[in-house]
Chain A
Amino acid sequence: MPDITVTVKCANDTKYSVTIDTSKTVLDFKKAIAENCDTPPERQRLIYSGRVLKDTDNLETYKIADGHTVHMVRGAPPGGSSSSQQSSNNNSSQQQSAPPPQNAQPMFNPFANLGAPFGTPPFTNTTAPSATGAPLPFGDLFNNPAFLQQLTQMMSDPAVLDAVIASNPQLADMGSQVRAAMQNPALQSMMANPDFIRRMTEMYATMMTPPTDFANVMGGLGTQGAPGANPGFNASANTGTTNTPSDSTNAASTNTTNTSNPTAAPNPFLNLFNPAERYQVQLQQLNEMGFWDAQRNIRALLACGGNVNAAIEYLLSDRQ
């Protein structure tokens, strides 16, 4: 049977050319595709001419010809999900179900972890991260979109903030400032950014300063940063130490920072540079408000540095 060259198009617009014999099965074809991309055969779902290709069929059954295009969609993993493939899949299941009893437990677990950065001496118990490793104390927690969503929800819930503040004398002293700072969307998106958390951790490890410093940074944010958000934060972080952990908050400053971390390990959060994943929480909010065009939402969020309110205005003004 003749070999044909088929274009495989993924949802994220990447394309691969795969050459294969038409007498091969769809499963063989998927294996050939897997050599080009990081989606294992069992997670690939292929669509051609309005049909989903079955693993056991031969390619000739579907009359795929040279130069034609097959679409690939990532399916849910057969078993549990690996953390790196987090993104949309487990997210959707969370979204679909999300009945109160399921939510109740994770609501409080992350809460317990959350206490740490604001309260008790935060990282003195964790051994100082090695120059290269710098593991994230919360592990994969911040990789989990469901957690990020809850975090944002919690941070915008005044009752939760009150509880956090009341639980900690240091914070109680400056209650109103903290509250203002925490409700600042810029800070919220920072807190929802694992890369930011990791850098903060690294910063602590190198400084080993008393925990009150974090409160100072927070205080600085509250006073300087609350209305205009980022400049205040960047300033206070700079006085603190090394490099500014700015990322998702300020599109303008993204290019200028990030560069100078000699100790940075191969970044495990590379996928954060994909705006769709970095702004996942915000995208979801926009979607819930009825802005369903993901491409435009991403563009708007990028233009507004992740600020949902600004993005809405952008979207509305963009609409003819």
Chain B
Amino acid sequence: MTKVPRNFRLLEELEKGEKGIGDGTCSYGLSNGDDIYMSDWNGTIIGPGHTVHENRIYSLKLHCDENYPDGPPAVYFISRINLPCVNQHTGKVEPSKLNCLANWKRTYTLETVLTELRREMSTAHNRRLPQPPEGTTF
């Protein structure tokens, strides 16, 4: 297998994000369209149904450094959320506490991270956690 270089890979992801391929529960795109290094990304997660997160839209910031996709992106929540894997002071998703970040693989994408976070929201334990009011930010 040939290794897809970082920029090709991110371009692919960018296109996928803009065209809205995927189930629409997670969305992502460049925060600054002129950023030729494609480092900073926005993401949103639509809270899964039948949980406390239902009908909420969570905004996130993702940063892909030069190691991406060999190394995982850094992920921050902008919208306040109460989840065990999210640092309650900074909104940072602790890599050690989210499986796909802790055991990062080259094939994982930003979408992988967002979908896994969304799945985190609907686990038996997390789906009922009391949440800060919607619209508050870290």
Contact = CB atoms under 8 A, between A and B. Distances in A.
B44 A50 contact: yes
Most chain A beta carbons < 10 A, residue from B46, B48, B54, B122: B54
A39 interface: no
Contact of B42 (A9, A51, A68): A51
Interface string B11-39: 00000011111001101111101000000
Nearest to A290: B124
B77 interface: no
B48 A73 contact: no
Interface string B47-60: 01111101101011
A75 B55 contact: yes
Contact of A51 (B29, B49, B51): B29
Contact of B46 (A11, A68, A89): A11
A49 B42 contact: yes
Contacts of A50: 17, 27-29, 31, 41-44, 59-60
Most buried by B among A47, A70, A96, A290: A47
Given A11-B46, A45-B57, A70 B127 contact: no
A133 interface: no
A144 interface: no
A52 B49 contact: no
A52 B44 CA distance: 8
A292 B127 contact: yes
B119 to A, nearest CB: 8
Given A63-B33, A69-B20, A47 B44 contact: yes
Given A68-B18, A92-B55, A294-B50, A49 B29 contact: yes
Contact of A48 (B25, B27, B41): B27
Interface string A96-111: 1000000000000000
Nearest to A292: B122
A292 B21 CA distance: 22
Interface string A109-124: 0000000000000000
A290 B127 CA distance: 10
A261 interface: no
Contacts of A76: 55
A95 B44 contact: no
A73 B29 contact: no
B122 A96 contact: no
A73 B57 contact: yes
A86 interface: no
Contacts of B17: 49-50
Given A71-B27, A292-B122, A52 B57 contact: yes
Interface of B: 17-21, 24-25, 27-31, 33, 41-44, 46, 48-52, 54-55, 57, 59-60, 119, 122-124, 127, 131
Given A11-B24, A50-B42, A92-B55, 16 more contacts: A49-B30, A50-B44, A50-B59, A51-B42, A52-B57, A63-B33, A71-B24, A73-B57, A91-B54, A92-B49, A287-B51, A287-B122, A290-B123, A292-B48, A292-B50, A294-B50
Interface of A: 7, 9-11, 45, 47-52, 63, 65, 67-71, 73-76, 88-89, 91-92, 95-96, 283-284, 287, 290, 292, 294
11 contacts: A11-B46, A50-B43, A50-B59, A51-B42, A69-B19, A73-B46, A73-B55, A95-B54, A96-B52, A292-B48, A292-B51
